[in-house]
Amino acid sequence: MKTSLKSIAALSVLAGAALAASAQTVTLKVHHFLPAGSAAQKMFIQPWCDKIALESGDKMKCQIYPSMQLGGTPPQLFDQVKDGVVDVTWVLPGYMAGRFPLSEVFELPFMMQSPEGTSKALWDFVQTHPNVAAEFKDVKLLALHVHGDGVFHMTKQPIKTMADLKGLKVRAPTRQTNKLLAALGATPVAMPVPAVSEALAKSVIDGALVPYEVVPSVKIQELVKFHSETDPTEPAIYTSTFMFAMNKAKYESLPPDLKKVIDNNSGLALSGQIGKTFLAADGIGKKLTEKNTHNVIPAAELQSWKKAGEQVSADWVAAVTAKGANGQALLENARALIAKYAVK
């Protein structure tokens, strides 16, 4: 009898401990490279965190660390989430040149047609190609997305023709975009977004190729005078791919109900929603540049730019094919998915 009572008491203690553990709030450390006031945090990361808190009954929350507050540099964010230094991160694969070569197809020139549709296409593309998915095998992918049309933000002169780029030092984020700039006659300068302000202020660069969404984060409107967009009827001159990812072990450690919350807030729909959000953020950023000079590079002028871009794409096809992938098939499938999900 005494033994039975002791056993029951022990089981009660264990059950109570388990209940207490399950009642504890899971706090996810979310690390990214832009300021807290950026569109990325205010319009996407914070709302996502609010949603998982609501749907989990406050059993799962976020602690967001913007502006690399936990240390390191933007290119190190992927390894931080992979290694469990942080639980969730948002970063550009393109900041880690050569590490995600197959998914770079979405960063080739004149690919993106709409941020929402192309973000869905990117998610679909990665899920349906095992060799591409393998590039992200070390993390739990929550979403993949792109941003809106790239814009030239220049300090001394607008960009109206390809000849205007000759010799100018222009920032771009990824190696494929830098190859395009070189093909157009510019001198490409690779750097993460947080470095753009100082580079413009110190005349290290003559301008930056970024979407309007970035303007508030780095105060571009105060550092340049000219903003040159490409004809909106043409595909974007470039876009960048982004990943929103979670540490795999952290995800696996969650109880089933919290895993379900994460699963319900991941995937194709989230990817498209983030792309749509970034398009809306472009409007906010552009409004800040109203006092500056704007121009649109016409479709007729862009035809020669597109020919230069075709060589960049051909070089990518050759490079990944040499490593064992079917580059041409991947390029054609990416274009087909972009067309499939295009928002009219």
Q: Is 247 helix (H, G, I), strand (E, B) or coil?
A: strand
Report yes or no: 204 and 189 within 8 Å, Cβ to Cβ: yes
For residues 22 and 152, the model is more confident at 152
* Fold of the domain spanning 151-238+288-341: D-Maltodextrin-Binding Protein; domain 2 (3.40.190)
Report yes or no: 152 and 228 within 8 Å, Cβ to Cβ: yes
Report yes or no: 241 and 141 within 8 Å, Cβ to Cβ: no
Backbone angles phi, psi at 133, to 5 degrees: -60, -30
* pLDDT-above-90 percentage for the chain: 90
Using CA atoms, how far apart are residues 79 and 82, in angstroms rounded to an integer? 5
pLDDT at site 344: 67
CATH assignment of 24-96+115-146+240-282, among 3.90.79.10, 3.40.47.10, 3.40.190.170, 1.10.150.20: 3.40.190.170
For β-strands 226-230 and 293-297, DSSP reports them as: parallel
Using CA atoms, how far apart are residues 296 and 299, in angstroms rounded to an integer? 9
Using CA atoms, how far apart are residues 90 and 142, in angstroms rounded to an integer? 10
Residue 173: which pLDDT band, with cuts at 50, 70 and 90? confident
Residue 343: which pLDDT band, with cuts at 50, 70 and 90? confident
pLDDT tens digits for 94-136?
999 889 999 999 999 999 989 999 999 999 999 999 999 999 9
Distant-in-sequence, close-in-space partners of 19: CB < 8 Å, separation ≥ 6: none
- From the list 46, 12, 1, 6, the residue with the least C-alpha distance to 28 is 46
For β-strands 207-210 and 26-31, DSSP reports them as: unpaired
For β-strands 88-91 and 241-247, DSSP reports them as: antiparallel
Residues of the chain with CATH 3.40.190.170: 24-96+115-146+240-282, 151-238+288-341
pLDDT at site 223: 97
Confidence check: pLDDT of 170 > 80: yes
Tokens 């780029």, residue located: 165
**Beta strands in the chain, from DSSP E residues, in sequence order:** 26-31, 60-65, 88-91, 139-146, 151-154, 169-172, 187-190, 207-210, 226-230, 241-247, 293-297
Tokens 């906010």, residue located: 284
Confidence check: pLDDT of 91 > 90: yes
pLDDT tens digits for 2-58?
444 445 444 444 444 344 444 589 999 999 999 999 999 999 999 999 999 999 999
Q: pTM (2 decimals)?
A: 0.91
